[in-house]
Amino acid sequence: MHQTHHRTPFRIIALVWMFLFQPYLHAVPPMSADAMLDHVIAQLPRVQVLAAGTIFVRQRRGIPIETYRFTLDANWKTHQTTVAYTIEDEYGTPLEALTFQPDSQPIFSFRQGPELRPAPLPDLTANIARTDLSWLDLSLYFLWWRGARHAGEDTVRGFHCYIIEVDAPTGSAHGTYASVRLWISSEQGLLLQAEGLDDAKRPIRRLWVQSVRQIEEEWIIHTLEVQQSNRIQRTRLQIVDVETNRGEAL
C-alpha cells in the first residue's frame, strides 16, 4: 500500500514546561529496571519519523568549531525496529551512515565516504567526525540492553529521576563503554541524561536532553547536548525538520 509522507505540526517543549503539569509519580514503587527501559522505548513515536537537523561543535565559551548536518529515518514500532542516521558536512556531503536493528540479535550496517560505500563497523563509542557524539549515543542502542539495575534516585534540573545502570552486552561493539548510567524521569518515563562509563565507573561521555518534540502521544529528542570528559568542547544536536509517515503502524 502506498503511504504518503506529511509534514506534521509538532510542539517543541522545553523540559521545564513539559513536566510542570505532569502527575507526581515517584512516590509509587518503581517497576523493574528493564521494564523502565522498555517504557522509555514505548515513548518513541509509533509512526515512521524522517528528520533532519544540525550538529554544532563549540568550545565551552560558545566559540564555534565545526558544523555538520544529519538525517534520521526511524521505524521504532514495526515488527523489526530500524533506525538509520546519515552524517554530512556543513555543505551536505555525506561522511558516514549507520543503520541498526536493535531487536533480538542486533544488526548494524555502516557506510562511509561521499558515496557512502559499505565499510567495516567502527567502534560505536568512538567520536563521529570531530563531534563529541558516538554512534552508540546517537542511536540510543543502550536502551535495548538488558540486565539493568536500579542505582538510586536523583534530581536533574529540578525533575525527579530514577537512575538505571546497565552493562554493555558481552561481545557487542560497545568499545570503551563497560556500562551506561541513565537518568529516567519518574513523571514521563523519558530519558533526561546518560553517561557512558569505563570499567572503573568513571564517565567517558555525558549527554543531556534539553528539549523534546511531541509526535501525537509520543516523544522524540529535539535538542541534545553531549560532552566528553576532559575536553574543552561540547556538541549540540538539534532537529530542524520532521516529517512522518501516516501509514498504519505494524
250 within domain boundaries: no
The band of 95, judged by pLDDT with boundaries at 50, 70 and 90, is very high
Contacts of 246 (CB under 8 A, 6+ apart): 3, 4, 5, 6, 47
- Amino acid identity at 38: D
Domain range for residue 10?
5-245
Looking up residue 10, the CATH number of its domain turns out to be 2.50.20.10
- How far CA 234 is from CA of 66, 102, 226, in Å, comes to 11, 28, 6
94 within domain boundaries: yes
Give SS3 for 79.
Answer: coil
Q: Count up the domains in the chain and report the number.
A: 1
What span, in angstroms and rounded, lies between the C-alpha atoms of 49 and 41?
A: 14
191 within domain boundaries: yes
Give SS3 for 66.
Answer: strand
Average pLDDT, the chain: 83
pTM (predicted TM-score) = 0.83
The band of 20, judged by pLDDT with boundaries at 50, 70 and 90, is very low
**141-176 pLDDT, tens per residue?**
999 999 999 999 999 888 899 999 999 988 666 678
189 within domain boundaries: yes
